[in-house]
Amino acid sequence: MHCKQWIFDMDGTLTDSMVVVWEGAPEALLARFGRTPKADLHETLLTMGMEEGAQYLIREYALPLDRNGYLDVMREVIAQLYEKVELKPGVRDTLARLRAEGARMCICSNTWSSQCRTVLTRLGIDEYFDFYIEARGAMSKSSPAPFMEALHRLGGTEPAGCAVCEDALYAAQTAHDAGFYLVGIQDTTSAADAPALRRICDQFLPDWTALDWAQA
């Protein structure tokens, strides 16, 4: 194993949460207010950022919320949905072996860090991570900035010696272009992107039990 620093996304990479949480949250929020989602809700929201999606739901479904009220309710909904989430196969053993081999690890996720910590503490793996980076705004994964910050905070200097683990194509592409060792994880919500992910990843895994340690 040559990678001594490991940067992990959470949703869809370590946790099987993309469908349960991020596809389920808008419907759960609408249900709180007695609204019935339209058939194309998921397809519509996929084209929007989080802010735009909030405005769309408030307007389209006449929700009695302003932006801040929406965010408060959505956080409550998401926190409840995360209570159902489990780890992907092989995660626990992979993290234990990485620590045993001296690797340092962190989380770099679009999900706010306090929620990540709550989820991973419940699942018993928070102890493996030195810190959490919230990849939003100027620190979006569309930019290499969060990955470079994570690398340096983990004590690394060269991207090639640091693994970035992702299920999302746009984030994986950013890490690839910045020279990181890229581990892609297959997820049902990004199935359409699997061929593109496979092309740019150093390893593309169906789950963590398939990691090639000799190459990592």
CATH for 127? 3.40.50.1000
Does residue 216 form part of some domain?
Answer: no
Helix (H) or strand (E) holding 55: helix 50-60
Query: Is 163 a member of any domain?
Result: yes
Percent of the chain clearing pLDDT 70 (strictly above): 99
25-to-30, 78, 153, 197 alpha-carbon distances in Å:
9, 6, 32, 26
Unique residue bearing structure tokens 């929700």: 63
Domain membership flag for residue 33 = yes
Which long-range contacts does 29-35 make (Cβ < 8 Å, 24+ apart)? 29/57, 29/73, 29/74, 29/77, 30/57, 30/61, 30/63, 32/73, 32/77, 33/61, 33/63, 33/64, 35/61, 35/62, 35/63
Q: Are 71 and 111 members of one domain?
A: no
Please state the rounded mean pLDDT for residues 173-181: 98
Instruction: Summarize pLDDT for 91-138 with one digit per residue, the tens.
Output: 999 999 999 999 999 999 989 999 999 999 999 999 999 999 999 888
Q: Does the pLDDT at position 46 exceed 80?
A: no
Work out the average pLDDT over 37-63. Answer: 88
Domain range for 110 is 5-16+86-210
Residues 196 and 133 in one domain: yes
